[in-house]
Amino acid sequence: MPANYFDIRRRHFRLTLQDWYRGLDKALIATASALTFILSAIVLLLVVVLAQALHLLADPHTPAGVRAAVIVGWQAASLLLLRTLREATFMPRPRMFFDSLPVPARDRLRADLLLSLASYSVLWLPVAWALFDPLGREAAAGPALVFELLELAALSLCVNITLLRGAGRHALTTAATLAGFTLVTGAGLAPRLVHLGLVLAAVAALWHCYLPARARMPRAVRRGGLGERLVLGSGLVLGLLANELRANLLVRAGFIAATLTGCLLVIRLRTNDASTASVVVFVAAVAGLALYTLPALCRKTLLTKVAFLAGQPAFARRMRFTTYAVPIGIYALALGAAWQFDRSGRAGLDAAIFSALFVCAVAGARLGWRPTTWLMPFTSTIALIILAAMT
Q: In this structure, are residues 174 and 143 in contact, taking their beta carbons and an 8 Å threshold?
A: no
Residue 162: per-residue pLDDT: 93
pTM: 0.65
The verdict on residue 313 lying in a domain is: yes
Judge if 331 and 368 occupy the same domain. Answer: yes
Distance CA 74, CA 89 (A): 19
The verdict on residue 73 lying in a domain is: yes
Q: What is the 3-state secondary structure (H, E, C) of 294-335?
A: HHHHHHHHHHHHCHHHCCCHHHHHHHHHHHHHHHHHHHHHHH
Judge if 195 and 231 occupy the same domain. Answer: no
Judge if 286 and 371 occupy the same domain. Answer: yes
216-254 pLDDT per residue, tens? 555 555 555 676 777 777 767 777 777 777 777 877 887
Nearest of 56, 116, 111, 113 to residue 82 by alpha carbon: 116
Instruction: Answer with the one of 175, 208, 241 that is the final residue of a domain.
Output: 208
Residue 225: per-residue pLDDT: 64
Q: Whole domain around residue 77: which residue ranges?
A: 35-208
Nearest of 256, 237, 255 to residue 246 by alpha carbon: 237
- CA of 335: how far to CAs of 48, 214, 332, in Å? 30, 51, 5
Residue 103: per-residue pLDDT: 84
Judge if 138 and 264 occupy the same domain. Answer: no
Residue 387: per-residue pLDDT: 78
Judge if 80 and 198 occupy the same domain. Answer: yes
Judge if 72 and 188 occupy the same domain. Answer: yes
147-161 pLDDT per residue, tens? 889 999 999 999 999
The verdict on residue 3 lying in a domain is: no
Judge if 353 and 252 occupy the same domain. Answer: yes
pLDDT average, residue stretch 109-133: 88
313-340 pLDDT per residue, tens? 777 777 788 888 888 999 999 999 988 8
The verdict on residue 20 lying in a domain is: no
Judge if 292 and 157 occupy the same domain. Answer: no
Judge if 250 and 174 occupy the same domain. Answer: no
The verdict on residue 215 lying in a domain is: no
Residue 27: per-residue pLDDT: 58
89-105 pLDDT per residue, tens? 888 877 777 777 788 88
The verdict on residue 23 lying in a domain is: no
Residue 276: per-residue pLDDT: 62
**Which comes out higher in pLDDT, residue 267 or 143?**
143
Residue 30: per-residue pLDDT: 57
The verdict on residue 14 lying in a domain is: no
- For helices 280-291 and 347-366, angle between their N-to-C axes, nearest 10 degrees: 10
Mean pLDDT of the chain: 80
Judge if 192 and 245 occupy the same domain. Answer: no
In the chain, % of residues over pLDDT 90: 18
Q: How many domains does the chain divide into?
A: 2
The verdict on residue 381 lying in a domain is: yes
Judge if 66 and 167 occupy the same domain. Answer: yes
Helix (H/G/I), strand (E/B), else coil: 188: coil
Judge if 123 and 238 occupy the same domain. Answer: no
